[in-house]
Structure formats: C-alpha cells, structure tokens
Amino acid sequence: MEIATAVGMSKRTVYSYYQDKEQLFKTAVQRAIDRYTVPIETLRAVETDDLEATLEAVARIRIGNVATPTGIRLQRILNAQSFRFPELYQEAFVVGAGPTIRFLSDLFVRFNARGEVDIAEPERAAVAFLSLVVSGPARLITAGSAPDEAEIQSRIHFSVQLFLNGIRRR
C-alpha cells in the first residue's frame, strides 16, 4: 500500500504493472541496487599515483555508501530475503559492486605493469579487497552498531596495509 500511496496510484493500478507481489518486490529491490551502486566516475575521481591513498579513498566511498539510508535498507532487505531470492543477492553483488570491482581490477593491472605489485588475478584481488576492507564495517553499520569515524578510518588503514603487504613485489 505504501508504494501505491507514494506514486499516487491505487493498489490495483500498481499491481496491473507487475505479475505479482514477488515481481513488484524484485523491481523495487533492483531500483534500490541501481541507486546504491557507486558510479565508476566517482571512483576514478579519487585515483592517484599512490595506490595506498587510492585504496583508502575507495574504501571510504564504499563504506560511506553502505552507511546511507538506502544502503542500510538495501543490505537489511538482502540479508533477510536472500534465502527466498538468492538471485537478488547475487544481482546486488554483480551490479552494486561491479563498477568498483572493474575499477580496482584495472587499477591493479596498471600497478602490476609498473612492477609495484604482483597480482596474477586482478578481479579476484578486487573482490578480496572489498571483502577485507568493506565487509566488516558494512556488517556493523547494517546491524545498527556503526563505528565512529575514527574507528572506521583505523579499520580502513589497517585493512589496506594488510592487503598491500600481500600484493607488493618482494
């Protein structure tokens, strides 16, 4: 009923656009995923020649995105409904994290070519980076236990250092 009220239509009119409640739900979640996705241009804007600074900036963007009302609602819905709609959970990862994964993969390829890092699988490294750096704070934020800014920055710095120590050429 809230959707019908928000768009100024009757409930019957809203349902005439969708096969059933499930389709309406999936469409609403897809729209939230689209709004949640960080555009690649936003990521490119923080890129520097300093890999550590770039990775920390990307982490701040992604964690900040999770902390938005849309991000929190989306994460909670996906967590609660993943058993019924596993494809939505997968879609959220592929679409929502896709631009960040592509950006990081390209970044790792460039730094690999410069001889600064040793990454055989840039896309896997990008996914690992996001898991290491963003997932912990995201879980806390979604659960309603958001760390303060100083703690988030400390976690980001620690995790980025740990990641870099694993990929730097020796």
| pLDDT, position 13 | 63
Q: How far apart are CA 56 and CA 38, in angstroms?
A: 15
* Whole-structure pTM value: 0.85
Q: Are 111 and 141 in contact (CB under 8 A)?
A: no
Which residue matches tokens 């819905």? Answer: 77
Q: Residue 3 pLDDT more than 70?
A: no
What's the whole-number mean pLDDT along residues 92-104? 90
Query: Which class would CATH give 13-167?
Result: mainly alpha
- Residue 146: helix, strand or coil by DSSP? coil
Give the amino acid at 19: Q
| pLDDT, position 5 | 67
Give the model's confidence band at 95: pLDDT under 50 very low, under 70 low, under 90 confident, else very high.
confident
What's the whole-number mean pLDDT along residues 48-64? 97
Give the model's confidence band at 52: pLDDT under 50 very low, under 70 low, under 90 confident, else very high.
very high
63 vs 85, more confident: 63
User: In percent, how much of the chain has pLDDT > 90?
Assistant: 57
| pLDDT, position 27 | 81
* Strand ranges inside the chain, DSSP E: none
Q: Residue 1 pLDDT more than 60?
A: no
